[in-house]
Structure 1
Amino acid sequence: MEASASLHAVRLVKPSVELQQAYLLFYTEWMASGEDIVPWVVSRDPADFAAYVSFLLGAEEEANTPEGWVPHTTLWLLDGNGRIAGAVNIRHRLNDKLRESGGHIGYGIVPSQRRQGYATALLEQALVETDKLDITDVLVVCDSGNIGSERTIRNNGGEFHSTFTEENGNVVKRFWIRRSEQA
């Protein structure tokens, strides 16, 4: 099956201007779907693509972090055919808001590529990145009704911790993935 074969070739890559065409296909599909976009950085307008990539790469540095935010790394999930299937945003530490309902990792797969194992592969590779950041206990959250995301988190070692109700009434499930042994 093509999907499982291509899962072996998926890899997280840093944003780059060389991937503009692939990214714009990814972005356009997601915007056209009308769905909420996760991670949040995908919803930023990439019209000035070089500036967008610069923003993403710069966000890793403490000096570029606005007050109330934390440094974060964004990576794109590239499939074996050079398409971007998903994106992940890794927060280098937690502030109060992230501790309640954002977590260390926000990730998403473009609608046409879901239910093919990409989310599990993306989260697995994102956890390798958290190891590099010395994050040994990783908080990952999902909306309470998002069974697919919950399954992805559990498949990567997530243990249910609690729920949190956001100001808008949305309930998120909070999971911890302990990486102490692997780091």
Structure 2
Amino acid sequence: MLRLVKTSVEQQDQVLALLSEWKEDGSNIVPTTINKDTSDFDAYVKRLLDAEDREKIEDGWVPSTTYWLTDGDELLGAANIRHELNAHLLNFGGHIGYGIKPSARGRGLATEQLRLALEKAKELGIERALITCDRENVASRQVILNNGGVADTPYTEEGGNVVERFWIDVKG
């Protein structure tokens, strides 16, 4: 059974294995919040947990909670839920960033991961969640649509990259 769990020091070996696999694959690690220095794993865990507290985050950032997708045996991916949006996140990033490690892709896990993340967003009081993906990321677009995403106006970054923006009603 898939579930989302918060970070703990007991997960060190699994987190390091997941990040190592992602780096070896060469694909972008998403959400970027997990792609940080792990040389002091206790500090890594503390940083992820501190991000939930407005008093402990950097100016310009919003509180966020990071979860790992697990089947009970291994970590399969990660999701980061931003508790609110700022101007940047309205265009790029949205409320939820999520990713599945390379060896676990293509099995429908991301659709379930986003569904679980939307439940967590609802618990945080988010009524409408903004989810974004690059226009070229067809798989992520389908995951968002599978979870009830309704397209909004795309955002074009300075370099020309088009970011698709979708809203999902999570009140219901």
TM-score, normalisation: structure 2:
0.97
Per-residue Cα deviation, 1:44-89 (whole angstroms, up to 9, x for no partner):
1211111000000010001011111100000000123x21110001
Match of 1:51 in 2: 43
2:119–2:170 contact (8 Å) kept in structure 1: no
Amino acid at match of 1:111: P
Counterpart pick for 1:12 among 4, 12, 26: 4
Q: In structure 2, what is the Cα distance between the partners aligned to 1:15 and 1:167?
A: 34
Q: In structure 2, what is the Cα distance between the partners aligned to 1:150 and 1:36?
A: 16
Q: In structure 2, what is the Cα distance between the partners aligned to 1:166 and 1:34?
A: 23
Secondary structure (helix, strand or coil) at the match of 2:11 reads helix
Secondary structure (helix, strand or coil) at the match of 1:19 reads helix
Structure 2: stretches of 5+ with no match in the other structure:
none
Amino acid at match of 1:172: V
Match of 2:125 in 1: 134
> Between Structure 1 and Structure 2, how many residues are aligned?
172
Counterpart pick for 2:108 among 110, 117, 130: 117
Q: CA deviation at 1:114?
A: 0.4
Counterpart pick for 1:21 among 13, 30, 38: 13
Match of 1:72 in 2: 64
Identity between Structure 1 and Structure 2 (%): 49
- RMSD value, Cα: 0.9
Q: In structure 2, what is the Cα distance between the partners aligned to 1:85 and 1:170?
A: 28
Q: CA deviation at 1:162?
A: 1.7
- The reply on whether 1:177 has 2:168 as its aligned counterpart is yes
Q: In structure 2, what is the Cα distance between the partners aligned to 1:143 and 1:178?
A: 21
Q: In structure 2, what is the Cα distance between the partners aligned to 1:162 and 1:38?
A: 23
- The reply on whether 1:167 has 2:158 as its aligned counterpart is yes
Secondary structure (helix, strand or coil) at the match of 2:117 reads helix
- Runs of 4+ off more than 3 Å: none
